[in-house]
A and B are shown apart, each in its own frame.
Chain A
Amino acid sequence: GENVEQHPSTLSVQEGDSAVIKCTYSDSASNYFPWYKQELGKRPQLIIDIRSNVGEKKDQRIAVTLNKTAKHFSLHITETQPEDSAVYFCAAGGGNKLTFGTGTQLKVEL
């Protein structure tokens, strides 16, 4: 089955800096790669997703890149703000079955 590894597990940045979270996956059949943000006590919320026929996608301060050959994808957050502090999960899958990474606790310090 699919295996997703996510790094780092914790990330601390200064407000205004960029944050990068990286994930690798094992199953070449995976064709959908979403990123979710989960604040304490709340549900995971989709922040951006990318499909295997696209190499990069951007939405304001958030971007995701996908390298199918190397089987890795990354989340980039620019101009970080305190409200970006949360746990971020990457996932890989297809057919409505997602395998999640172990999460990255992002802390944006003032």
Chain B
Amino acid sequence: KAGVTQTPRYLIKTRGQQVTLSCSPISGHRSVSWYQQTPGQGLQFLFEYFSETQRNKGNFPGRFSGRQFSNSRSEMNVSTLELGDSALYLCASSNSAIQETQYFGPGTRLLVL
């Protein structure tokens, strides 16, 4: 099976803009989780979607949002970008609603200028 894929891989934006990142899970996986990775804060959970429903949410402001489509592909959106949003955004997919192994995608590296 193909692994988790994310697009785009790299992105440069300016403050105030918005951005949409995409994640395609492993075929058959219905859960997609999003994480932000920065040198200072490490890996932090953003939210998780299962069957098009957001089930869990981390401690991020409302500028961070997401959605999941019927084919399990997921998008996350960040509005009104701030310099501190510069990070590697990783998604991970799992084939279960309960805790199962999460497989990570390669990430989207976002730079906010």
**Residue ranges of A at the interface with B (Cβ–Cβ < 8 Å):** 1, 31-32, 34, 36, 42-46, 49, 51, 89, 91, 93-103
Contact = CB atoms under 8 A, between A and B. Distances in A.
A interface majority secondary structure = strand
A94 B99 contact: yes
A102 B106 CA distance: 19
A66 to B, nearest CB: 14
Given A96-B33, A96-B94, A97-B48, A46 B43 contact: no
Nearest to B104: A43
Given A1-B59, A100-B42, A49 B106 contact: no
Contact of B33 (A34, A97, A101, A103): A97
A98 B43 CA distance: 9
A43 B90 contact: yes
14 contacts: A36-B104, A43-B104, A43-B105, A43-B106, A44-B90, A46-B101, A94-B99, A95-B48, A95-B97, A96-B33, A96-B56, A97-B45, A100-B42, A100-B43
Interface residues of B, number: 27
Nearest to A99: B45
Contacts of B58: 97
Q: Which of B43, B56, B96, B101 has the most CB of A within 10 A?
A: B43
Nearest to B105: A43
B104 A95 contact: no
Contact of B98 (A36, A49, A95, A102): A95
Contacts of B100: 96
B65 interface: no
